Amino acid sequence: MFGSNAAGPVGHGIGAGATLEGTLRFSGRLQVDGTVIGAVIAEPVEGSEVVVGANGRVEGRISAATVVISGTVQGPVQSTFRLDVLSGARLRGDVDYRDLQIQHGAIVEGSLRPVGTDEVPLKLVANSRI
């Protein structure tokens, strides 16, 4: 898990089967393949990245420059650079973003608010089927 992968070097990680309760503050890059119950906060935000793996889970706020979600997040997400919600991901919480990508098959429930603009926020509801 630590070292590097296709997305780049991994600085810190919560491995599969591990659970962390409380506020997690980090710098650089964080890979979550286990469970975090509490806030995940990058300090400094600039240049930071949080990756929630397919089996990863965060129950709390995430704040970082880049956030990539493949697993489950229940809580608000603040992304100052880019947010990617990948196919199969589940996100329940309000989102502040600068650049947003939601892949087909992802479930997002919450308000979407662009950062640094006066645009009206977009509201998405999970499991909307036509």
pLDDT in tens, 51-75: 999 999 999 999 999 999 999 999 9
Say yes or no to pLDDT of 18 above 50: yes
Reported confidence tier of residue 29, pLDDT bands at 50, 70, 90: very high
pLDDT at 115: 86
Q: Under 8 Å CB-to-CB from 129, ≥6 apart: which residues?
A: none
Summarize pLDDT for 98-127 with one digit per residue, the tens.
999 999 999 999 999 998 766 655 655 555
Q: Quick: pLDDT tens for 78-104.
A: 999 999 999 999 999 999 999 999 999
Buried b (16+ CB within 10 A) or exposed e, 49-88: bbbbbeebbbbbbbbbbbbbbbbbbebbbbbbbbbbbbee
More confident residue, 120 or 15: 15
Domain ranges for the chain, please list them: 3-124
pLDDT at residue number 19: 97
The pTM for the full model equals: 0.84
Alpha-carbon torsion angle 10, 12, 17, 22, nearest 10: -150
Q: What is the pLDDT of residues 39-54, one digit of tens each?
A: 999 998 899 999 999 9
